[in-house]
Amino acid sequence: MQTSSLQLPPPPKEPRQDHPAFVTARSLLGLTSGISLMDSLIGGLKPDTVAFITGSGIRLQAAERYCIRAQLSQADGGLKDGAFFIDGGNSFDIYLFTELAHRHHLAYNKALERQLLSRAFTIYELRSLIEGSAAVFATRKPKLLVVSEFFSLFNEDVEKGEAKRVVSDIASSISEVSEREQVPILITSANRPEPLVSILEECCNISAEITEDGRRATSRLFKHPWKAPMEVLSEATPTNYNQDTLQTEARLLG
């Protein structure tokens, strides 16, 4: 004789309620460089940011710090993944990168694995890397795009009309990448050659320049989503290059 226990029907399912993911104050700030001079001028890099930064060497230091800090957890103000660094001026400093990884308590070998690096030696290679970046985003899913030393390849050997055409092509591609991938984009350059810079700025919502002369720094903001153009003179002291990961929001905002 077989016996069986009484099976009650399962209770009805509660209606699904989707709760927004918890976000920290740091994540609302966007990705910061940890350099107060830079962060106070342009704020954090957000998913819709396309920032063009020119001037002295601080732009290159900031670029690599953004790459390292992108790998931090969201609680620490990062994006929890690597960056795609398109190097137009052979500017990527592996020694600085590994030092920053150590300072931010990241294993440098793992940090290097997550950092994608491609070098361009002509304006056409630069255009091709940006136009073909969809494959990189599809397979490796970087959370930040850096295009380093953009105008270094546009030398006197490039005819002016051709240079304008290529910059226009690249600006269109950058706009497409920004809309499609929704990741922050940073572009750096030592100089601002006209009229090429005006063509590139069409795809940017932030344009700024920081120059340093001894202990003095001049910060210029040309374009920003919510700040008016301005120029600020300040002391360029070593405290502007704070590489610590854990800082207060007030410190990050300068």
**Token pair for residue 95?**
């020694």
Query: Per-residue pLDDT tens for 42-67?
Result: 999 999 999 999 999 999 999 999 99
Residue-level pLDDT at 29: 83
Contacting residues for 48 by C-beta, under 8 A, at least 6 apart: 178, 182, 205
* 79 contacts 65 by C-beta, under 8 angstroms: no
Residue-level pLDDT at 213: 87
Residue-level pLDDT at 108: 87
CA distance 93 to 67: 12
Q: Give the residue ranges of the chain where pLDDT is below 70.
A: 1-28, 236-254
Domain boundaries, the chain: 44-252
Q: Is the pTM of this model over 0.75?
A: yes
3-state helix vs strand vs coil in the chain, percent to 5 = 40, 20, 40
Residue showing tokens 């240079």: 163
Domain 44-252: CATH superfamily is P-loop containing nucleotide triphosphate hydrolases (3.40.50.300)
**Token pair for residue 251?**
């410190």
Residue-level pLDDT at 235: 83
Residue-level pLDDT at 215: 83
Contacting residues for 83 by C-beta, under 8 A, at least 6 apart: 66, 67, 70, 71, 115, 116, 142, 143, 144, 145, 146
How far out from the chain centre does Cα 98 lie? 18
E strand or H helix that includes residue 251: helix 249-252
